[in-house]
Amino acid sequence: MGPLRRLAGSVPEVFGLRLNGSRSFLTEAAEVIVLALGLYLVITFAIQTVHVIGLSMYPSLNDNDYLVANKLDYRLHPPQRGDIIIMRDPFDSSKDFIKRVIAMPGEELLIKDGHVYINGHLLNEPYLRSDEPWNNNGNWPPPGSVDAGKPRVIPPNQYFVMGDNRNASSDSRVFGPVARDRIEARAWLRIWPLPKMGTVDQVKPTLETSSSLPVAA
């Protein structure tokens, strides 16, 4: 009876250890699942990584830069002038473009001789290269259109976007204003190359206060 008594007494202890171990395992597993779910939600709904290909946003962004883009911003408020945005390619929805918002819905826009006018006011753009004037693809509305040389109103829920490298950018001067639902995220942080790590849209355009061009009637 002695050996049986000892064996019977040891069973709860063995089971107790197993039970405690199960609780620990389940807790850790739950934490891992919650963490994975949290990361999935963040990556899916909050941020996205962006690989910049090409020089259309030079000098603000360079070829092979890597960025983090904020996808939550535009769930809370509309894009703002000067924002660097991630948008779906107008010609291939499986690809993305990266451009800068220049004109907002309802604004009158004229681009003439390398200058941008919004509601008759000159737009100062300090992020552009001062040593490289525009040499092509410049005026908008485009030459030959019925309102060439006159301001054109940006339609509701649409945005006029351009690359900072005006001589090497396919943008709204080519494909027209971009619908709001094609804008996916705001470029936020450059993470590569490391020496240039930091926020990417600190420099914003400004409108001159005095009227520089007559506003279309």
Active site residues: 56, 99
Sequence-distant (≥ 6) Cβ neighbours of residue 164 within 8 angstroms: 56, 57, 58, 59, 60, 61, 100, 125, 127, 128
C-alpha Rg value of the chain to the nearest Å: 28
* Calpha distance 47→195 (Å, rounded): 22
Altogether, the residues listed in the chain come to a count of 217
Q: Which of 58, 131, 134, 38 is nearest to 99 (CA)?
A: 58
